[in-house]
Structures are given as structure tokens and as C-alpha cells.
Chain A
Amino acid sequence: MRQLRKLAVAVLLSFLAAVASTGHGKASDTSLEATISALASAKLKDRGNHIEALAATGDAQVVPFLEALAAGDVYFKKSDKTVFITRKAEGGLQLLDPLSLEEGEVVGSRSLKKVKVNNKLRRLVRGAVAGLTVQSHDAGTRLEAANALYKSQDLEALPLLKAAVAAETDETVKDAQERAIAAITLKNVKASEAERLEALGKFKAQGDQEALALVSSFLPQAKTAAESEAAALAIQSIEKSLAMWDAVENVWYGLSLGSVLLLAAIGLAITFGVMGVINMAHGEMVMLGAYTTFVVQEVIRKSFPGFFEFSLLFALPLAFLVAGGVGLAMERGIIRFLYGRPLETLLATWGVSLILQQAVRTIFGPTNKEVGNPDWMSGAFEIGGLALTANRLWILVFALVVFVVLLMVLKRTHFGLQMRAVTQNRRMAASMGIRTPWVDARTFALGSGIAGMAGVALSQISNVSPNLGQTYIIDSFMVVVFGGVGNLWGTLVGAMTLGVANKFLEPYAGAVLAKILVLVFIILFIQKKPRGLFALKGRAVDL
């Protein structure tokens, strides 16, 4: 193994020289093919050596093969053991030559066997590909390579990286390369004290968790007193800055949890808060929204794969219509007979919720459905020491937008005016010529529709199953009641308070106790303020 590595380095260096002089080097195709087929027939454990051998050729021709290997697209034929890269095609898999990428026949998957890789091999491939592409023409590829080497900290890549950084023109790539060099330096036994101290300084300034990991794994290997002192100081400083960010992180997590609660509850703030219907089927409206997203994505996947990124935008209005429509039917069919008997709406809507759950189970099956995240909803980015995940951020934004729009509808539109009039004094409103039954129906449909839209957002972070609604219903009621029935601002503040309180308790008490404590807090709080955080004044609220 060790010898092989040495050999590899030697080969690599010589090729590097060749690359530098002629611009491209090429190992003989036959030897590559031999290594590839040896790799395919080797045991999982031994495949690493062959990958290293491929990398050692320094031939950029093997890059597509290695990438396909990591992605799990490399197969060999069961009959003659020839190795291919494959691509999904009609009727099976399209075979491609591993080196020339020439297209071959399409065969059924039963006649092929996959060349499996595991995490360890994938890491190896990643490092190898990075080594081969660190001087690629494309800046994006170079950046990727540098980042991969930062992670793999492959000693052999050090000379490559140093050569690359000297020739690099792009600032971001250069930064990444220097970072990778620093990380490798800490691992490198042969590095000088000065080099290491410089690397430590770099990571101290970087100040994130990865830097902490690198420095703390370096600490026991420090050779001189100056090194260990510098490392200890760096750790101290990084930990200090991380601790500071911790509090910020908790607030962010709390707000994010709060936004989920707000979304789940905001429709209920209308149907329950404004209309006084104890709508136990509220959770199912959220569920309908989530299933609408699923259906929209299925249609897009099957018929218009190019539009997947916009699937949520299509789903939003549809979810509003579907859930709103069901809400309308519910109001016209059942709830309108029950006004003034709020507790009986509980019974009827509970029945509706059972029916809706079972209907969804019958139509879509009882298992979870896959709702994909579009790219703009995936991943995370960092602000200082705070990692913000894209989907949480969008959900927070979406929740606030829904809140503001709803507030506008209530305060600034004619319909909103009628709605408030009806809830405040039904008879008076009727005498003024407002068609109260229609206002009721539309209000209920609005609340349900908003719940449906919430479902679209929640499908991005949670299970899409017939039980989806049940997981949110209790929390939703808590939020609305805590905030004060009939007050949208109360719902907003209630959701955010509960979210943040939960997240600040969680590190100390654990997830379960935190939730219990929040519930106890709600119970005690209601004793102090029997009408919630923002109590409406007047008689209209007497449920």
C-alpha cells in the first residue's frame, strides 16, 4: 500500500511535468482498460487500490469513469465481465464505453451487475477526481476540486495544489485552494513550523466548526511548544466565537419553528379564531395542500420535467383552490347548520377529518409520498457562524408573506370589512344588507385555502402521509388560543414566542421536556390571561 502510494506520487509528478510541457498526457488505453476491469472484478475492499492506480495515471480521460463510479452508474455484464458506464434509457440501461464514452446497445438491467462503491471508496474517488481536475479549464470545476481536497486532505495532492495556486487567477478559487493547502499542511508531518503556524492562523480567522475540527485533530500532533500553544489559542478563540453564534442560532431555529407553527395555525386563526368553528378538520386541509403538491410534482415529472423548479409555484394556487373548495363544500354542507353551536362543530368536523384521512388513504395509499425539494429550496448558506438552510428561510418568508396578505385582506378589502362586520355582530351586519351566509362560506373557504397553501410549504420539511394533519392540529390550536382567539397578530406573536421558547429550552431540557414545559407554560399563561395574549375586547368574542 505504502509503496503503491510512493509509486503513485512518482508517476504523478512525472506526468505533471508532462502535462506542463505538452498540455496533455495520455497513458495507453489498454493499461487503463485493464485497471478498470480489474477494479470491477475486485472485491469491494480491494477496489480502493485500483482507484488509486487510476488516479495515479494522471490521465484526465478517467475522470468521467470515476465520476460515474461514485454516482453508482458503472456496471459490468454478467456474461463477459466487460465494464460500462450506463445511463437510464427506454427499456433498460444505455451502455457507454468507460473511456471513449461511445454509445453502445441498450440492455435490460438483469443482465448487468453493478460495480458497487461505499462511502470510503466514494471519498477516495472524490479526492482522485479533485487531484485530476485541480487545474481544469473550468473555474467551477477547479473550485469543486479545491473544496474536495480541503475535505479529503490528501497529502499527495499538495504539490498539485501548490502548482495550481501559483497559476490561479480567480480569487475565490485561489482562496479555496489556499484553504486546502493549509488543511493539508496541518496533516503533513514534513511541513515546517512556520507553515503550520500560518495554517493555524488561517483557521483561527476562519472560526467555524470545520476549522475547529481541523485544529483540534491537529493539537495532539503538534511538535513544538509554539505549535501547541498556537493551536490551543486558536481552539479557544474559535470556541468563543461559536458560543456567541449559538445564541443567534437558537433564535433562528426558534423563529423557524415559529414560522412552521404560524403556517399551520394561520388558517385556523380564520376558521376557528374569527368564525368560532372548532375546526378539527383543519389539519386535513393542510394535508390536502401537501397532497396537491405531490400530484402537481407527479404531473410535472411525467409530462414537463423542465418545470420542476417551479412546481411549488404551480402547487400554491392549486392547493388554495383544492382546500378552499373542500372548505366551501364543508361550510355549505355541514357547518352552516351549526352556527351558534361551536362545540358541535367539533363533532362534525372531527367526522369530516376521519373521512378525509381515509379518503386520502384509499386514493393515494397509506405510505409516505415523495415530495421533492426544488434546488432553490435545498442546501444551506452561511452568514458568519450561522448556517441558514434554504427551505427554512423560504418557509419563514412565505409564512410572513401569507400573514401580511391575510392582514391586508381583512383590513383593506371590501370582503374583509364584511367579514369583520359579520363576526362582530351578525344581525346588525345582516340588517345592513350583507349576505351573511355568503360571507361565512367565503371566510371558511379562505381559511381552508390558506391551510392548503401551508400544506405546500410543510410538504417540504415533513412527511406527506394521511397522518400529516394530525401532527399539526394540536399545536395549531395551542398557538391560536395562546395568541388570543380572533386576533391575527396574536397568532403571529404566539407562534413565534412558542417557537423561540421551545428552542431555548431544548438544549437544556431535551426535546421532550422542552415540549412539556411549553405546554405547562401555556396552561399557566391562560390562567393569567384567560383570553390569550391579545384578547379582543367586547362581546363578540364570547364563544
Chain B
Amino acid sequence: MFQHSKKVASAALFGLMASAVMTTASHAEETIKVGILHSLSGTMAISETTLKDVMLMLIEEQNKKGGLLGKQLEPVVVDPASDWPLFAEKARELLEVHEVAAVFGNWTSVSRKSVLPVFEELNGILFYPVQYEGEESQRNVFYTGAAPNQQAIPAVDYLLENEEVERWVLAGTDYVYPRTTNKILEAYLKAKGVADEDILINYTPFGHSDWQTIVSDIKAFGTAGKKTAVVSTINGDANVPFYKELANQGISAEDIPVVAFSVGEEELAGLDTEPLVGHLAAWNYFQSVDTEINAEFIETWKAFIGDEDRVTNDPMEAHYIGFNMWVKAVEKAGTTDVDTVIDEIIGVAVPNLSGGYSAMMPNHHITKPVLIGEIQEDGQFDIVAETDGLVAGDAWSDFLPESAKLISDWRKPFSCGNFNVETGQCGGSATN
């Protein structure tokens, strides 16, 4: 009896091990493997599945062009199932078992935090494509999404100048990205002379669905006789009920505009956008960007996914940039060796989809234009403002006292992610 059960268990385990070993052995030499670490099930699948698809498309396109270093690229897709510790396990599997040359993945901050030690230990490369809270610069990670200074601050500037907003509601989901962004914005607004009582900060839980009270609070806050705007860092799922409630309570963009940092074309696809016309979003890319290269990208995407109605969005562009940067760096280095690529990729510039070039900075963030868009009836954004030039991502915000002292530069021999200019020391974890 006991032996039976033992056998079942061990058979299962060895099956696992064997299959893992075999897959590595059989393909090792012919291809270069690229890991894709995006949730395909669970709560984050809604956003991340698209990114998996766009990676598959980019890899396919690259292979059509003859691959990389004369070899074909082979995508390795795994599903970390929106489960944060599973992210770490899968990252380890990609690096150790499949020996991928680079990983493209993650969406939430917590999933990135969860895989960081793995990438550090096994010396891998991760391209992270989503706008995030900053306050991080790690040797093995390249942040192709926006840092707060590439999204939030230009958006607030736009509202200050164009809408002459004097009263601010900072509404967000209670997690680290909104907390940081709101902290930075609060400091920034106060520096611009906004009084304490003209800032209302509000946090809600994940997936909050009953917005009646909060929307009516916003409405009440907006009746003080000063122009009011909402800066929304509300996360994913909670947005649809939030906007629906706004529309129903009759708050139009002309009365109280809402500028969001987490709402893009993909999120709007699940919404009736007619009542939302004029609400804003700040991103580094919109599908409506009118350039040849973008039209081509959209066309390829629609053909690849086989659906005319699918949209493109900012994190997809981030992957596009990140992937091309990696390809270029590998070509430059002539090898996929991690250490060499990490050194070579700094300074690499590739075309972005808005008609310019994005470059990898020494702090592992990239330069991007910042675009402000207004929601249109068709679920697209009209770009109403654009920063004059490219904005370089700032890993350590200047508006938070502790982080203002830190700088990051991964060029040799400096190689430090959090150099404290006051003490003159490279402090803490990111040193390798």
C-alpha cells in the first residue's frame, strides 16, 4: 500500500524533472530562447495576456527577418497565474531549466519584487514593460515603462496650465504605485502653491466596485467654486465601475476632468466611452499616434491576432521598444551572454512608435515622450498635449526626501543602482 503511494509520488516528481531536463537538452544549441513571464490566468490575465501575444508577434517578426545572430528565436511561455510566489518559481524555471537569454514579463509591482532576487541570483535579464512607482534600479532589470516623472508630473502640468485646475482629488487603489505617485504629486502641487485643503486623497481596495459614496464625495469636493480635477491611479478592474458611476452621476469631463495613469485603450475596450469623452490619460504612447511606423505596427498586430477590433496600448509599445533594444544590444555584443548584454545595452537607441528614438539610460530606464490624450467616443484617445522633447525616466524621485539623495548609474566602473550622494556610498541591495 505504502509503496504504491510512494511510487505515484516519485513517478510524478521524476516525470517533472525528466521533462524539464529533456526540453533543455534537445533544443539547447539551435535556438536562442526568450522567456515570456505574463499571467495567462487569474486576475491579471486581463492585461497580461495581450503582452504575451505581442511578444510572440515580435519574436515571429524577428524570425522572419532571419532571427538573431543567425539563430532562430524560440519563445518559452509560462503562466504564473497572477500568483506572486509562482512568479518567482517560474522565473527560476525559465532561467535555470530553459536557460533563456532574456525574460520579458511581469505587470504588477509585487510580481516584479517577487522575481527580483531570482534574477539577481541567477544573473538573468528582465524587461519590465509597465508604468510603475520608481524607487528601484536593479542591475538585471530594464524598466521600459514610465517612471512617475514620465507620466504623472506632465499630466498635472497640463491640467494646471490648460484647465486652470485649483482643487485636486488624488484617488487611487491602496497599493504602492498610487501611494508613491500621490506622494510625489502632493509634494509637487504644494510646491506649486496648492493649499492643503485643496487636495483630497482617497484610497480604495483592489477591485473596488461600489463607487457611489466616493464619486458623490468627489462631486461635493468639486463644488467649492474652484475648478476641480481628479488624478486617478485606480487600478485595472476597479476602473470600469468607477467610470460607469461617474457617467451616471452626471460628472462630465467639462465639469470635473479625470486624468488616469492606468487606463489605456485596452481598458476602454470594456466600456461604453460615450459619456467619458474628454476624460484624460497620460501615457507614452497612444494607438492614435499618427506615424507610419505606428500604422505598420497596428496592422501587423491586427493581422497577427486575427481580430480587427483589437487595440494597441502603451505597455505593448514598451515591449516593442524593449525587445528591439535587446536585439540591438545582442547584435552589438555578438553574444547573448548576460553580462555583456547588460553592459552593451546602455546607450542603445531604437525607434519608438511615436516617431522618435528611445534610448536606454545608465539607470536602466528609457527616454520617452509624454503624451496627454482625451478619451473619444470610439474608445481611442485624441492627443491634446505632448512634451517638447523626450523625458528620461528617473529611478529615484526628486520629490521624496529619502530618494532625492540617490542616483543610479550602471556603467562600469561606477555600477551602482542607489548611490547616496550625501554619504558618497553605494548603499544596500542593488549592489552586485
Is B43 a contact partner of A467 (Cβ separation < 8 A)?
yes
Q: Does B241 contact A (CB under 8 A)?
A: yes
Q: Does B220 contact A (CB under 8 A)?
A: yes
Is B209 a contact partner of A462 (Cβ separation < 8 A)?
yes
Is A72 a contact partner of B382 (Cβ separation < 8 A)?
yes
A370 contacts which of B174, B210, B270, B275 (Cβ < 8 Å)?
Answer: B270
Is B223 a contact partner of A392 (Cβ separation < 8 A)?
no
Alpha-carbon gap, A464 to B209, bound state (A): 12
**CB-nearest residue of chain B to A215:** B225
Q: Does B272 contact A (CB under 8 A)?
A: yes
Is B270 a contact partner of A216 (Cβ separation < 8 A)?
no
Is A503 a contact partner of B216 (Cβ separation < 8 A)?
no
Q: What 1/0 mask marks residues of chain B from 199 to 228 whose CB sits below 8 Å from any chain A CB?
A: 000111101111011101101101111100
Q: Does B269 contact A (CB under 8 A)?
A: yes
Is A116 a contact partner of B382 (Cβ separation < 8 A)?
yes
Q: What 1/0 mask marks residues of chain B from 208 to 252 whose CB sits below 8 Å from any chain A CB?
A: 111011101101101111100000000001001100110111100
Is B249 a contact partner of A510 (Cβ separation < 8 A)?
no
A368 contacts which of B40, B248, B254, B267 (Cβ < 8 Å)?
Answer: B267
B270 contacts which of A118, A151, A463 (Cβ < 8 Å)?
Answer: A463
Alpha-carbon gap, A346 to B250, bound state (A): 43
B240 contacts which of A116, A361, A463, A515 (Cβ < 8 Å)?
Answer: A463
**CB-nearest residue of chain B to A252:** B212
Q: What 1/0 mask marks residues of chain A from 81 to 120 whose CB sits below 8 Å from any chain B CB?
A: 0000000000000000000000000000010011010111
- Residues on the A chain within 8 Å of B241, using CB: 461-463
Q: Does A387 contact B (CB under 8 A)?
A: yes
Please, could you name 27 A-B residue pairs with CB atoms under 8 Å apart, sorted by A?
Answer: A72-B376, A72-B377, A116-B382, A116-B383, A118-B278, A209-B219, A214-B225, A215-B225, A217-B225, A253-B212, A253-B213, A256-B212, A367-B269, A368-B271, A370-B269, A370-B271, A380-B250, A387-B249, A389-B248, A389-B249, A461-B241, A463-B240, A463-B241, A466-B45, A467-B46, A507-B217, A512-B203
Q: Does A358 contact B (CB under 8 A)?
A: yes
- Shortest CB distance B173–A (Å): 10
Q: Which of A71, A219, A380, A467 has the most CB of B within 10 A?
A: A467
Alpha-carbon gap, A479 to B414, bound state (A): 59
A216 contacts which of B225, B247, B253 (Cβ < 8 Å)?
Answer: B225
Is B212 a contact partner of A392 (Cβ separation < 8 A)?
yes
Is B205 a contact partner of A511 (Cβ separation < 8 A)?
yes
* Apart from A213-B222, A461-B241, 4 more pairs, CB < 8 Å: A219-B225, A367-B46, A380-B248, A463-B270
Alpha-carbon gap, A462 to B45, bound state (A): 17
- Shortest CB distance A189–B (Å): 16
A118 contacts which of B45, B225, B248, B384 (Cβ < 8 Å)?
Answer: B384
Alpha-carbon gap, A126 to B208, bound state (A): 34
Alpha-carbon gap, A499 to B215, bound state (A): 17
Q: Does B50 contact A (CB under 8 A)?
A: yes
- Residues on the B chain within 8 Å of A515, using CB: 205
Is B205 a contact partner of A512 (Cβ separation < 8 A)?
yes
Q: Does A122 contact B (CB under 8 A)?
A: yes
Is B174 a contact partner of A512 (Cβ separation < 8 A)?
yes
Is B210 a contact partner of A260 (Cβ separation < 8 A)?
yes
- Residues on the B chain within 8 Å of A361, using CB: 41, 45
**CB-nearest residue of chain B to A512:** B205
Q: Does A227 contact B (CB under 8 A)?
A: no
Is A213 a contact partner of B382 (Cβ separation < 8 A)?
no
- Residues on the B chain within 8 Å of A368, using CB: 46, 240, 267, 269-271
Is A372 a contact partner of B278 (Cβ separation < 8 A)?
no
Alpha-carbon gap, A260 to B211, bound state (A): 13
**CB-nearest residue of chain B to A465:** B46
Within 8 A of A (CB), among B341-387: 374, 376-377, 382-385
- Residues on the A chain within 8 Å of B93, using CB: none
Is B223 a contact partner of A503 (Cβ separation < 8 A)?
no
Is B224 a contact partner of A510 (Cβ separation < 8 A)?
no
Q: Does A506 contact B (CB under 8 A)?
A: yes
Q: Does A347 contact B (CB under 8 A)?
A: no
Is A119 a contact partner of B278 (Cβ separation < 8 A)?
yes
- Residues on the B chain within 8 Å of A365, using CB: 49
Q: Does A210 contact B (CB under 8 A)?
A: yes
Alpha-carbon gap, A489 to B249, bound state (A): 31
Within 8 A of B (CB), among A334-389: 357-358, 361, 365-373, 378-380, 387, 389
Q: Does B257 contact A (CB under 8 A)?
A: yes
Query: A72-B382, A113-B290, A118-B374 given as contacts; is B266 within 8 A of A367 (CB)?
Result: yes
**CB-nearest residue of chain B to A502:** B210
Q: Does B163 contact A (CB under 8 A)?
A: yes
**CB-nearest residue of chain A to B250:** A380
- Shortest CB distance A152–B (Å): 9
Chain A interface residue bracket vs B: 35 or more
Q: What 1/0 mask marks residues of chain A from 415 to 452 whose CB sits below 8 Å from any chain B CB?
A: 00000000000000000000000000000000000000
**CB-nearest residue of chain A to B39:** A366
Alpha-carbon gap, A389 to B248, bound state (A): 6
Alpha-carbon gap, A367 to B384, bound state (A): 27
Q: Does A390 contact B (CB under 8 A)?
A: yes
Is B244 a contact partner of A461 (Cβ separation < 8 A)?
yes
Query: A387-B249, A511-B204 given as contacts; is B384 within 8 A of A210 (CB)?
Result: no
Q: Does A212 contact B (CB under 8 A)?
A: yes
Query: A72-B376, A462-B240, A467-B237 given as contacts; is B270 within 8 A of A369 (CB)?
Result: yes
- Shortest CB distance B279–A (Å): 9
Q: Does A44 contact B (CB under 8 A)?
A: yes
**CB-nearest residue of chain B to A507:** B213
Is A213 a contact partner of B249 (Cβ separation < 8 A)?
no
Alpha-carbon gap, A464 to B257, bound state (A): 25
Is A116 a contact partner of B384 (Cβ separation < 8 A)?
yes
Q: Does A257 contact B (CB under 8 A)?
A: yes
- Residues on the A chain within 8 Å of B207, using CB: 471
Alpha-carbon gap, A122 to B250, bound state (A): 16
Within 8 A of B (CB), among A481-508: 502-503, 506-507
**CB-nearest residue of chain A to B210:** A257
Is B223 a contact partner of A210 (Cβ separation < 8 A)?
yes
Is A370 a contact partner of B272 (Cβ separation < 8 A)?
yes
- Residues on the A chain within 8 Å of B163, using CB: 119-120
Q: Does B423 contact A (CB under 8 A)?
A: no
Alpha-carbon gap, A369 to B309, bound state (A): 12
Within 8 A of B (CB), among A245-300: 249-250, 253, 256-257, 260
**CB-nearest residue of chain A to B216:** A249
Query: A210-B223, A367-B46, A512-B174 given as contacts; is B270 within 8 A of A464 (CB)?
Result: yes
Q: What 7 pairs across the A-B complex have the smallest Cβ distances?
A: A368-B270, A217-B225, A213-B223, A389-B248, A366-B49, A216-B225, A209-B223
Query: A465-B46, A466-B45 given as contacts; is B224 within 8 A of A372 (CB)?
Result: no
Q: Which of B245, B275, B384 has the most CB of A within 10 A?
A: B384
Alpha-carbon gap, A209 to B225, bound state (A): 10
**CB-nearest residue of chain B to A463:** B240
**CB-nearest residue of chain A to B224:** A216
Alpha-carbon gap, A379 to B275, bound state (A): 10
**CB-nearest residue of chain B to A73:** B377
Alpha-carbon gap, A503 to B210, bound state (A): 10
Q: Does B26 contact A (CB under 8 A)?
A: no
Q: Does B5 contact A (CB under 8 A)?
A: no
Q: Does A50 contact B (CB under 8 A)?
A: no
Within 8 A of B (CB), among A61-76: 71-72
- Residues on the A chain within 8 Å of B205, using CB: 511-512, 515
A119 contacts which of B224, B245, B253, B383 (Cβ < 8 Å)?
Answer: B253
Alpha-carbon gap, A369 to B224, bound state (A): 37
**CB-nearest residue of chain B to A368:** B270
Alpha-carbon gap, A158 to B292, bound state (A): 49
Is B270 a contact partner of A506 (Cβ separation < 8 A)?
no
- Shortest CB distance A463–B (Å): 5
- Shortest CB distance B267–A (Å): 7
Q: Which of A257, A361, A365 has the most CB of B within 10 A?
A: A365
Q: Does B3 contact A (CB under 8 A)?
A: no
- Residues on the B chain within 8 Å of A531, using CB: none
- Shortest CB distance A403–B (Å): 20
- Residues on the B chain within 8 Å of A120, using CB: 162-163
